[in-house]
Amino acid sequence: MSTRTVTVTRTTRETSIHLSLDVDGAGKTTLKTGIGFLDHLLDTLGRHARFDLKLTCEGDLQVDDHHTAEDCALALGEALDRALGERRGVNRFGWALAPLDEALARAVVDLSGRPFSDVALGLQREVIGGLACENVGHFLRSLATAGRMTLHVDVLKGENDHHRAEAAFKATALALGQAVGLSGFADVPSTKGTLGAASRE
């Protein structure tokens, strides 16, 4: 299998992003989004999925954090999609439970080629570390869209919103790491023979 390393540059009037991703990495990250908690969540994702991830973003934070969070997710999803190519030889499915103290989160991933997400984090605060809580879930949904994957994430319990959000990203990371892992087979794991946008099984 060819190397699964990708570089993505995404530039709009709202953000300028440069990202490099090695799916078969060691969990090393270098992150600078301008939002402390988003950096923390991305570090959690890269570290526990064992992705090497470098991401810098200059966003219109004078407006708010939405464009930065969304576009970073879209860039990462695009990078994952490109790195996986035909998705030949991958496990395809991944699932995980991840705790953080009193919080417990569950994530299930299908590298289906079809964007779908169901994310229920139950966050109560408005903001954590400069990141609006509504954008934590929005990041995961945007990641699923650009990554052409099915993603279910829910936080089963927890009192601390920081813990709930971080547990959700840990579970997502573990599930993603499992799904992109190599199965030892050379085929595309689908009855259709493809994991493109039109596949259904």
Q: What is the pLDDT of residues 142-183, one digit of tens each?
A: 999 999 999 999 999 999 999 999 999 999 999 999 999 997
Q: Is residue 187 part of a domain?
A: no
Q: Is residue 195 part of a domain?
A: no
Q: Is residue 33 part of a domain?
A: yes
Q: Residue 194 pLDDT > 50, yes or no?
A: yes
* Confidence (pLDDT) at 155: 98
* 77: containing domain: 5-180
Q: Provide the percentage of residues in the chain whose pLDDT is more than 90.
A: 86
* Confidence (pLDDT) at 10: 96
* Confidence (pLDDT) at 201: 40
Q: Residue 93 pLDDT > 90, yes or no?
A: yes
* Confidence (pLDDT) at 2: 62
Domain count, the chain: 1
Q: Is residue 191 part of a domain?
A: no
Distance (Å, rounded) from C-alpha 37 to C-alpha 1?
Answer: 35
Q: Give 82's contacts (C-beta < 8 A, 6+ positions apart).
A: 6, 8
Q: What are the strands, taking DSSP E only, across the chain?
A: 5-11, 15-22, 29-32, 52-59, 93-100, 103-110, 116-120, 127-128, 131-132, 150-157
